[in-house]
Chains A and B, each alone.
Chain A
Amino acid sequence: MLQCVMAGLIALLGAVEPPCTALTGGRVFAEGRLQEGLTVVIEGERVAAVAAGAVAPARCRTLDVSGQVVTPGLIDPFTRLGALEVPLEPATVDHDAGAAAGPVRAAFQVADAYNPRSVLIPVARREGVTAVLTLPVGGVVSGRSAFAELDGATQRQAVRRSVTALHASIGGGDGSRAASWALLRQLFEEAALFQRTRAQWERNASRPFANHWRDLEAVQAALAREVPLVVQADRASDIEAALALARAHDLRLVVAGGAEAWLLADALAERRVGVIVDPLLYGPGSFDQVHARVDNAAMLRARGVPVMLSTFDAHNVRRLRQIAGNAVRGGLPWEAALEAITRTPAEVFGWPDQGRLQAGAVANVVVWSGDPLELSTRAERVFVRGREVSLETRQTKLRDRYLTLPGTPAPPLPLP
C-alpha cells in the first residue's frame, strides 16, 4: 500500500502531466466478477479509481467503451518470453544455463538475459498479455525467474522483479527422479546450514559444501519465504515429494505442470500450494502424465487450490486467453479462469499491485471487444503502466507487406 502511495506521489510530482485515461460504459472485471456501470480511471502508471460514477480529472482522455469488456492485463506465470527468440539458433537462446552448468544452477538469473526488444513481446501483447514470469530451464534446479511487464525499451523498465521465484524440474526421463530429489534435499539442507554457520564459512572454518556458495546464497530467498520454489512436475508421486520438501523447509511451494495434481488436491489446498495448469493437456502425453484429465483445473479449484493457467510457451503466449477458455470448457468457472491469468498468479507470486482492477493497482488494463476468453474477441486497447501500447507486431507488418499480390518485398524507387 505504501508503495502505491509513494508511486502515486512520485507520479504526481515528477511528471508535468502524467497520462490519464477514463474508460466509461464498459463491463468491468473487478472483485472477481463482471460489473456494469463502473468507470476505470487510469492516472500515470496506476489505476486511480474503479467505481460507479468515478470522476476523472478534467485533463483525462475519456474513452467510451460501451459494449466492451475491461479486464486487468493478462499474466502468464510460466513463460520463456524475453529470454528466447529462435530456439534452434543458440545465439538467441538464453533461458538455459547449459549442460556444462550442471544440475544445480540456483544462482542462474534469467533476468540478466531479458531482451525487452524481443519481437515475441508485441505478439503476446496484441492478445492482451501485459506481464509474464520468464523462467530458466534445464538441470534439476534451473535458476531464478523474472517478472516482466510487456513494455519498455530497457531491462530496467521492463523487468519489475529480477528474482521472483526459484525453479526446479523433476521427471521427464532425464535420470532417476530419486537422484533429482536427493540433489534438491541436499541443496536445501546445505543452504539452511550455510545460513546458520555463515560466520564460520566466512572464516573458512566450515566443512566443504557439495553446492557452490553462490547457489546456497541463491536459495536463501526461498528458505526465507520471500520467493516461492516452483517445481515443474506432472506425476502425482513427484508432487507428493515436492510437498514433503516444502514441509521440511517451510517453503512457499508452487507446482507447475501438475498434470496429475488433481490426485493430490486436498494436500495442495491444505498448504495453499498454487498450481500452474495447462488445460489443453488431455491424454497421457508422457509417462508422467498418464492420469492427466481435461478437468484438472476445475477439480483443483473446487477443492480450494489456487489455480493458475499458462501457455508454458514463448512464441504463443498469445494463446493464454484461449487456454483459459479451454479451462472453462473443462469445467472451471469463467470468473476463476480469468482470475487464473490475472489475480491468482499475482497473489501466489507476491506481485500485490498486479492482476486486478482497483484503486492503486498498476494500470495494466485491456479493453476487449467481448468475452476475453472467446476466440472471436479481440483486444481493442492495451495499457501497460497506464500507457496505451501499440498493437502492431512484426507479424502485422509482414502481413501488410504481402496483402496485395503479386508484389515484391519493396517497390522500385522513384527516379531522382
Chain B
Amino acid sequence: MLHRSMGAWGIAVAVAVAGCATDGTPREQRSAADRLAELEAPALKPVEPAPLGAAGVVVMRNAVVWTAAGQRHDPGFVVLRGERIEAVGAGEPPAVAGAHVIDVERRFVTPGLIDTHSHLGVYPSPSARAHADGNEMTSPNTADVWAEHGSWPQDPGFQRALAGGVTTLQVLAGSANLIGGRAVTLRTVPARGTRAMKFPGAPVGVKMACGENPKRVYGGRNQAPQTRMANVRGQRQAFLKAQKLVRELEAGKTPERDLASETLAGLLTGRLVAHVHCYRADDMLAFLAIADEFGFQVRSFHHALEAYKIADVLAARGISVSTWADWWGSKLEMFDGVPDNAALVAAAGGRAIIHSDSSRDIQRLNQEAAKALVAGQRAGLRLTEEDALRWVTANPAWALGIDGQTGTLEAGKRADVVVWDGHPLSVYGQARWVFVDGALRYDRTRPGAPWSDFELGQGAP
C-alpha cells in the first residue's frame, strides 16, 4: 500500500518530474506552474511515516445512508475496503468475503464533515502564548509562511473535532495580514508531525484578508496598512511582484528565489487556491477587482457576513461562501450579519459552506448547518436537509479542491464516514463512529486514551 504521506508527495513529485529536465523539455517551454512545483518539491518531501490503520473490509448494513450526493437509501449499506468506499446502495449489501459486518440499526450514515476554516493546531488548546503560531504579525504580506509549519499536532482540539464528525479541515493562518500565508488541509488523525496529517494531494490554499483586521493590527502601530485603501494597495503590490516572477519563469529565466512571490505566483498559475477572509460586501467586491486585475479566481470568501447582499455576483463567478450560522457583531464589519446568509447564498444558486473558525463550533458543525437551514426556511426559502448536509460536506470539499476524493458517500472516494446516534441535524444528534480513510478513529462508547500527550497525566481523579 502506498504510504499516505508518500501519496501526497508522490503527486507533487510527479508534477515536478513531468515538467522537469528528465523528459528533456527545455526550461523555457515548461509552464510557470510546473517550474514552481519543481522548486517546491524538496520542501514537501515527507519525513515521518503517516498513521495507517484502515480496518480492512467493513460492511455497514441496515443504515440510513445519506450520501450528500442526492440520495438517501433507507435502508441502505456502505462497503469500505481499505482506505476507500467500495460500494454504496439501497437494501441489503452484496456478500463480501472476509468483511466485518456492522448492523448500524437504522442509524444515519453520512460523509465525514469538512471545515474550510480552522485554526486548530496554530491556535491550539489550551490557549497559550507559546503556541500562538497562527499570525505572523511582523509584516502585512507573509505569503511566505506555511500553516503546516505552525500547526501543533498534539492540539487536543483535533480529537474533539473528530468526535463531532469532522474528518477533514483546512488550517489557516490568521487574518492579521493582507496575505497571511499558505494553508494546509489536514485529517483528524493522531500523528507525531503535521505532515503525517496532510490530506493526500489536497491543493494548497492561500489565506488573504480584507477589511478591519490588517488595518487595525498595523495601523495601530502607525504602519501600513492603516486604511482599506492601503489594504488594496498592499495586495496589488504583492501581486505585481508575483506577476513579474511568473513572466520571468515563462520566459525561461531563473530568478532569485522569493518565497512570498512563489506563493502568489501559485495563485496566478492556478496551482494554489485563494481563500479570502472578508466580511463586507463592498470589501469583497474590491477584492474581486484585484482578482480580475491579476487574473486569478477566488475559491471561497470566508466569514463573508454580507455575502447575501452580493449573492448574485458570487454565484455568477462560482465563488463559494464559507460562513457561520449566527456569529455576528463583534466588530463593525460584522454588524450586518444575518442568520439567513448561507441560505440566501444557496437560494441564489451559489455554493454555501458552514465553517467553524472555532475550536468549539468545529465540534458541532452539524448543528450550525441545521441552524442556517432553519433560518432560511423561516425566511421562506426552499431549502432541504440535503442542502444543509452539503454545506458541511460536499461544498467544503469543493472549496478545498478535494471533492473528487471526499465529501460524499460514493464508490471510489476515501472512506471518511460518520455513523450518527440521532438525526445529524438535531441538537441531540451525535457521532457514534467516525472513520477516516477507512480507519475507525472515534467510538463514542469507547473514548479510550486522549491522543494528545498534553492531556496525559493531568491529575484528574
Residues of A that sit less than 8 Å from B by CB? 85-89, 120, 263, 280-287, 289-291, 314-316, 318-319, 322, 325-326, 328-329, 373-376, 378, 395-396, 398-399, 402-403, 405-406
The yes or no answer to B374 lying at the interface (CB within 8 A) is: yes
List, in ascending order, chain B residues with CB within 8 A of A88's CB: 212, 216, 330-332
List, in ascending order, chain B residues with CB within 8 A of A316's CB: 326-328
Q: Are B332 and A325 neighbours in the complex by a CB distance under 8 Å?
A: no
Select which of A85, A315, A375, A395 is within 8 A of B427 by beta carbon.
Answer: A375
Give A261 Cβ to nearest chain B Cβ, in Å: 13
**Distance between Cα atoms of A287 and B459 in the complex (Å):** 13
Residue among A86, A263, A395 having the largest count of chain B Cβ atoms under 10 Å: A395
Q: Can you list 14 A-B pairs with a CB-CB distance of less than 8 A? A: A86-B330, A86-B332, A87-B329, A88-B332, A263-B460, A290-B458, A325-B427, A374-B427, A374-B428, A375-B367, A375-B374, A399-B379, A403-B379, A405-B311
List, in ascending order, chain A residues with CB within 8 A of B127's CB: 285-287
Give B296 Cβ to nearest chain A Cβ, in Å: 24
0/1 string, B421-433, CB within 8 A of A gives 1: 0000111101000
The yes or no answer to B359 lying at the interface (CB within 8 A) is: yes
A-facing residues in B346-360 (Cβ within 8 Å): 348, 359-360
Q: Are A284 and B455 neighbours in the complex by a CB distance under 8 Å?
A: yes
From known contacts A87-B330, A291-B460, A329-B430, infer whether A280 and B364 are also in contact, taking CB-CB under 8 Å: yes
List, in ascending order, chain A residues with CB within 8 A of B310's CB: 405
The yes or no answer to B363 lying at the interface (CB within 8 A) is: yes
List, in ascending order, chain B residues with CB within 8 A of A290's CB: 126, 455, 458, 460
Q: Are B160 and A282 neighbours in the complex by a CB distance under 8 Å?
A: yes
From known contacts A286-B126, A398-B336, A399-B379, infer whether A322 and B312 are also in contact, taking CB-CB under 8 Å: no
List, in ascending order, chain B residues with CB within 8 A of A375's CB: 367, 370-371, 374, 425-427
Give 5 nearest A-B pairs by CB, closest first: A325-B427, A315-B329, A405-B312, A88-B331, A375-B370
Q: Are A318 and B367 neighbours in the complex by a CB distance under 8 Å?
A: no
The yes or no answer to B338 lying at the interface (CB within 8 A) is: yes
Give A264 Cβ to nearest chain B Cβ, in Å: 12
Q: Are A398 and B338 neighbours in the complex by a CB distance under 8 Å?
A: yes
**Distance between Cα atoms of A322 and B363 in the complex (Å):** 14
Q: Are A283 and B125 neighbours in the complex by a CB distance under 8 Å?
A: yes
From known contacts A328-B428, A402-B344, infer whether A285 and B126 are also in contact, taking CB-CB under 8 Å: yes
Give A199 Cβ to nearest chain B Cβ, in Å: 49
From known contacts A289-B126, A375-B371, infer whether A315 and B338 are also in contact, taking CB-CB under 8 Å: no
List, in ascending order, chain A residues with CB within 8 A of B332's CB: 86, 88-89
List, in ascending order, chain B residues with CB within 8 A of A395's CB: 328, 337-340
**Distance between Cα atoms of A405 and B313 in the complex (Å):** 9
The yes or no answer to B156 lying at the interface (CB within 8 A) is: yes
From known contacts A88-B332, A280-B364, A285-B360, infer whether A402 and B455 are also in contact, taking CB-CB under 8 Å: no
The yes or no answer to B43 lying at the interface (CB within 8 A) is: no
A-facing residues in B411-461 (Cβ within 8 Å): 425-428, 430, 454-455, 458, 460-461
List, in ascending order, chain B residues with CB within 8 A of A285's CB: 125-127, 359-360
The yes or no answer to B128 lying at the interface (CB within 8 A) is: yes
Seed contacts A289-B126, A316-B328, A378-B374; 20 additional CB < 8 Å A-B pairs: A88-B212, A89-B332, A280-B364, A283-B157, A284-B455, A286-B126, A314-B329, A315-B327, A316-B326, A322-B371, A326-B367, A326-B427, A378-B378, A395-B328, A396-B338, A398-B308, A398-B338, A402-B308, A402-B309, A405-B312
**Distance between Cα atoms of A398 and B341 in the complex (Å):** 10
From known contacts A399-B379, A402-B309, infer whether A373 and B427 are also in contact, taking CB-CB under 8 Å: yes
**Distance between Cα atoms of A140 and B374 in the complex (Å):** 41
List, in ascending order, chain B residues with CB within 8 A of A283's CB: 125, 156-157, 160, 359-360, 363
Give A127 Cβ to nearest chain B Cβ, in Å: 9
List, in ascending order, chain B residues with CB within 8 A of A284's CB: 125-126, 156, 454-455
List, in ascending order, chain B residues with CB within 8 A of A280's CB: 360, 363-364
List, in ascending order, chain B residues with CB within 8 A of A374's CB: 426-428
Q: Are A406 and B312 neighbours in the complex by a CB distance under 8 Å?
A: yes
**Minimum CB distance partner of B458 in chain A:** A290
**Distance between Cα atoms of A282 and B416 in the complex (Å):** 23
**Distance between Cα atoms of A395 and B328 in the complex (Å):** 10
Q: Are B427 and A329 neighbours in the complex by a CB distance under 8 Å?
A: yes
**Distance between Cα atoms of A337 and B367 in the complex (Å):** 18
**Minimum CB distance partner of B370 in chain A:** A375
Give B220 Cβ to nearest chain A Cβ, in Å: 11
Give A177 Cβ to nearest chain B Cβ, in Å: 16
Give A285 Cβ to nearest chain B Cβ, in Å: 5
Give B347 Cβ to nearest chain A Cβ, in Å: 9
From known contacts A284-B156, A287-B128, A403-B344, infer whether A87 and B331 are also in contact, taking CB-CB under 8 Å: yes
Q: Are B126 and A315 neighbours in the complex by a CB distance under 8 Å?
A: no
Give A378 Cβ to nearest chain B Cβ, in Å: 6
Give B214 Cβ to nearest chain A Cβ, in Å: 14
**Minimum CB distance partner of A375 in chain B:** B370
**Distance between Cα atoms of A279 and B309 in the complex (Å):** 34
**Minimum CB distance partner of B430 in chain A:** A329
Give B211 Cβ to nearest chain A Cβ, in Å: 12
**Distance between Cα atoms of A281 and B340 in the complex (Å):** 26
Give A146 Cβ to nearest chain B Cβ, in Å: 20
Q: Are B326 and A376 neighbours in the complex by a CB distance under 8 Å?
A: no
Q: Are A329 and B428 neighbours in the complex by a CB distance under 8 Å?
A: yes
